[in-house]
Structure 1
Amino acid sequence: MPDLQPRTPQLGLRANAAQFTLLVAVNALVGGMVGQQQTVLPLLAGEEFGLTGYTFVFTYVAAFGVTKAIANWFAGTLSDRWGRKPVLLVGWLFAVPVPLMLIWAPDWWWVVAANVLLGINQGLTWSTTVVMKIDLVGPDRRGLAMGLNEAAGYGAVAVTALLAGHLAEQYGLRPAPFLLGLAYTALALLLSGVFVRETRDHAHHEAAGHVPRADGLHDHLHAGLTDRQVALQAGLKEPALSSASQAGLVNNLNFGLSWGLFPLLFATADLGVGEIGLLFALYPGVWGAGQLVTGALSDRIGRKHLVTAGMATQAVALAVIALGDGFAGWAAGTVLLGTGTAMVYPTLLAVVGDVAHPAWRGRAVGVYRVWRDLGYAVGAVLGGIVADLLGLHAAVWAAAVVSAASALVVAVRMYETHRPAAAAPRG
């Protein structure tokens, strides 16, 4: 007679290799949805819609960032209550109209509206794949898991930005680059709907065996926190979580600034669309590939010093870009910026996984990503205002100063969150 007892979820990368790999592929498609437009939209704003003011051009980045930040909160809350897979599927449904709206947009506000939908898609899908991977791997290899997740997402941003730039150069700014988004959405709906499995039971299994820290540091972070308490701890009160939130915001401030400003800055040197696409691809490309190393490295050496060094590296990189005036200097700066971001991005997510109780981990990831993705909007607004008042180079210098200040906050306030001795056996 077959055993009808439900199987106990197994934690670990090896035990969940097939599902983990599938989720990596899904997150690559999430990243590709952003990459399809990053090289093209700033150029589209000027050539087809006649926009010249930097602040106005950056409206689509701000709309994307604010919407994504809000969607992150709902992704975390709903995935804890209803499960991960339903949230993932709903997120992909929001992506369906985005490429079509960008192809047919008769004015700039269609582009802004498309980016509102894209923000919802990104917040729901990316946050959910992050939580699902943390569910599957357990406490031992969070850094590696986040490195693989973020490498897939931002590697796809880079590859798709490069492809979109090539298609735009060969066939025009519309519709060719946005056909990539249509293909990505169709494939993602198929994979998410048919092959992805729910992972919330893995979190419940981990919560049943959760062991508090011996030093009592997390005694107040018990399983029964309300949504409001989770938001306060992750955003403002708890030193490691709130330090991670501010560093994430500044990191995406830099990304939002680069998204709207870098193509315009690079165009001042009369570079072609292909060269601009290559420069833009270098940043997320190094960022994506570097996370394959830095995520696992944080499991070995800890989180805090990697985050501090990464934010400082971003500050130096932005200074190099601000001083540059041609392809070689900008290429060096974008590679360095990608390196600094790779040091920070998976490590901050691992910090949240280290500190948050499994019972409210989804909500903690959501709150962190609310703060982090507000950086898109802050970067767009800050970059646009400073660029309009003082010029493009001054906007990059402003971001460099903010990044240096963020590194100092992490160095002073964050404690080390990773405890290798308490980790579960590798698997």
Structure 2
Amino acid sequence: MTRTAPPAPRLGLAANIGQFSLLVAVNALVGALLGQERLLTAFGESTFGSSPYTLALLFIAVFGLSKAGANFAAGHLSDRWGRKPVLILGWVFALPVPAMLILAPDWGWVIAANLLLGINQGLSWSATVVMKIDLAGPSRRGLAMGLNEAAGYIAVAVSSMATGWVASQYGWQPEAFLLGAAYIALALGLSVFAVRDTTAHAELESASHATAETLSTRQVFARTSLTDPTLSSVSQAGLVNNLNDGLVWGLLPVYFTANGLTLTQAGLIASVYPFVWGLGQLATGPWSDRAGRRRLIVAGMLAQAVALAAFATAGGFTVWFAAALLLGAGTAMVYPTILAAIGDVAHPSWRARAVGVYRLWRDAGFAVGALTAGLLADRFGIPTAIGAIAVLTAFSGLVVALRMRETHSPAR
């Protein structure tokens, strides 16, 4: 019996709608597993007792560092092995996580589980980003990244709410973490048996370029981090974006309840931020295809700064709910647009590695943000920590405004 050869690769969302939709679903499962992560401070406090802010946020720092390293590895391995093996490897690393959380006797187990979860998130999410950029081609990258990131972060919000409900009704161990086991089993099965590799699509696009570019991984790292004004400016913006997300993730729920909000109110504010972030990317991704990338990134960083300043200087459910809406909208402007801009600038032959380097810096922001916020909050209080990071976020937006060049003409 002869095996049918795979169809010749074609670029564009319409030509690849089946595989693209499948990858959107897989990335939603990546986000759903991350959604459980968003409630681990509540799990740890209720199960193991409260800790100083710095210690309590250590698990976020470990997650951020392991995810950052896995992002970098994912870019390199995607060019060396292909995209699909990296995606599968990411889900293999996730397999022990639910059991570790179910059996966890102390914070040390949570931190160890987060290390593995960070590797899963870095490998699997990076692989889906690179594969969608490969499939979409140059004209609709903003839409492709908007759909990718929207699927992931809407799933974060929905899974966070689902995990909180299960934990409140049935308990954390084992019931709440069985959801994560189901996510992993489904995603691993889809990745092994249904997803197809997209390396040939990148090679097809590379062949259409007038010049070939062969760069070492060290050269890609230097260009993305320092020497290319556009790539380096969006890399620092990504780091600062996740720096403030690390603060929001770790400190705001505690800040809300300490200032008189009920758990229900705090949970609503905490969930509306990633929900607006996720849903908003359905609009901001294609918007960047029409209006260009640079202005959306600058506006998004400044919107985040204003929202954080409102958290630090104002009080009450109504104001904080509005600030969470603005923070989600600002993040939605930034997240898919930066990825699309990297796809615009990086040559297909080293694009996966450029995405990996950017995501290394971006997710290192989790660790920097968690530790910085924890140290500032322990020393000066939570409002000061939030205010300091609001100023840093505004400065990051100004760096993009001054250094980044526009990468996508609306006429293209």
Q: Please say whether Structure 1 and Structure 2 have the same fold, judged by a TM-score greater than 0.5.
A: yes
Give 1:173 shift.
Answer: 3.4
Question: Is the counterpart of residue 229 in structure 1 residue 228 in structure 2?
Answer: no
Does the 8 Å contact 1:161/1:280 carry over to 2? no
Distance 2:4 2:31 in 1: 40
- TM (norm. structure 2) is 0.97
What per-residue deviation string (whole Å, max 9, x for no partner) do you get for residues 226-251 of structure 1? Answer: 10000000011101000110000000
Distance 1:228 1:177 in 2: 42
Q: 1:328 aligns with which of 309, 318, 330?
A: 318
Question: Is the counterpart of residue 289 in structure 1 residue 279 in structure 2?
Answer: yes
What per-residue deviation string (whole Å, max 9, x for no partner) do you get for residues 289-342 of structure 1? Answer: 000000000000100011000000000000111124332222111111000000
Does the 8 Å contact 1:95/1:121 carry over to 2? yes
Give 1:271 shift.
Answer: 3.6
Segment of structure 1 superposing worse, 121-130 or 250-259: 250-259
Root-mean-square deviation over aligned CA pairs: 1.6
Partner AA of 1:258 in structure 2: V
Partner AA of 1:113 in structure 2: A
Give 1:4 shift.
Answer: 8.1
Does the 8 Å contact 1:146/1:350 carry over to 2? yes
Q: Which position in structure 1 is the counterpart of 2:389?
A: 399
Q: Secondary structure at the match of 1:358?
A: coil
Partner AA of 1:10 in structure 2: R
Q: Which position in structure 1 is the counterpart of 2:247?
A: 257
Q: Secondary structure at the match of 1:8?
A: coil
Moved over 6 A (4+): 2-6
Structure 1 residues 211 and 419: alpha-carbon distance in aligned structure 2, compared to 1, 3 A threshold: farther
Give 1:270 shift.
Answer: 4.2
Matches within 5 A, 1:13-92: 13-39=13-39, 41-92=40-91
Q: Secondary structure at the match of 2:235?
A: helix
What per-residue deviation string (whole Å, max 9, x for no partner) do you get for residues 68-120 of structure 1? Answer: 00000110000111100001001001111112111211110100000000000
Segment of structure 1 superposing worse, 21-30 or 100-109: 100-109
Q: Secondary structure at the match of 1:48?
A: helix
Does the 8 Å contact 2:291/2:410 carry over to 1? no
Does the 8 Å contact 1:140/1:420 carry over to 2? no
Matches within 5 A, 1:28-427: 28-39=28-39, 41-211=40-210, 223-421=213-411, 423=412
Does the 8 Å contact 1:303/1:351 carry over to 2? yes
Does the 8 Å contact 1:145/1:295 carry over to 2? yes
Distance 1:274 1:200 in 2: 46
Partner AA of 2:184 in structure 1: T
Distance 2:168 2:314 in 1: 24
Does the 8 Å contact 1:165/1:274 carry over to 2? no
Partner AA of 1:70 in structure 2: G
Partner AA of 2:83 in structure 1: R
Give 1:7 shift.
Answer: 4.1
Give 1:170 shift.
Answer: 2.1
Does the 8 Å contact 1:303/1:417 carry over to 2? yes
Q: Which position in structure 2 is the counterpart of 1:218?
A: none
Distance 2:382 2:44 in 1: 17
- TM (norm. structure 1) is 0.93
What per-residue deviation string (whole Å, max 9, x for no partner) do you get for residues 43-69 of structure 1? Answer: 223222223200000010000000000
Partner AA of 2:282 in structure 1: L
Distance 2:89 2:398 in 1: 39
Segment of structure 1 superposing worse, 168-177 or 282-291: 168-177
Partner AA of 1:418 in structure 2: H
Distance 1:176 1:269 in 2: 30
Distance 2:331 2:234 in 1: 13
Aligned-residue identity in percent: 60
Give 1:180 shift.
Answer: 1.4
Distance 1:267 1:93 in 2: 37
Distance 2:262 2:176 in 1: 16
Distance 2:4 2:92 in 1: 35
Mind listing any 5+ residue stretches in structure 1 that lack a counterpart?
213-221
Segment of structure 1 superposing worse, 231-240 or 328-337: 328-337
Partner AA of 2:348 in structure 1: P
Q: Secondary structure at the match of 1:174?
A: helix
Does the 8 Å contact 1:161/1:277 carry over to 2? no
Structure 1 residues 5 and 225: alpha-carbon distance in aligned structure 2, compared to 1, 3 A threshold: same
Mind listing any 5+ residue stretches in structure 2 that lack a counterpart?
none
The aligned length equals: 411
Segment of structure 1 superposing worse, 152-161 or 262-271: 262-271
What per-residue deviation string (whole Å, max 9, x for no partner) do you get for residues 338-382 of structure 1? Answer: 000000000000111000000011100000000000000010011
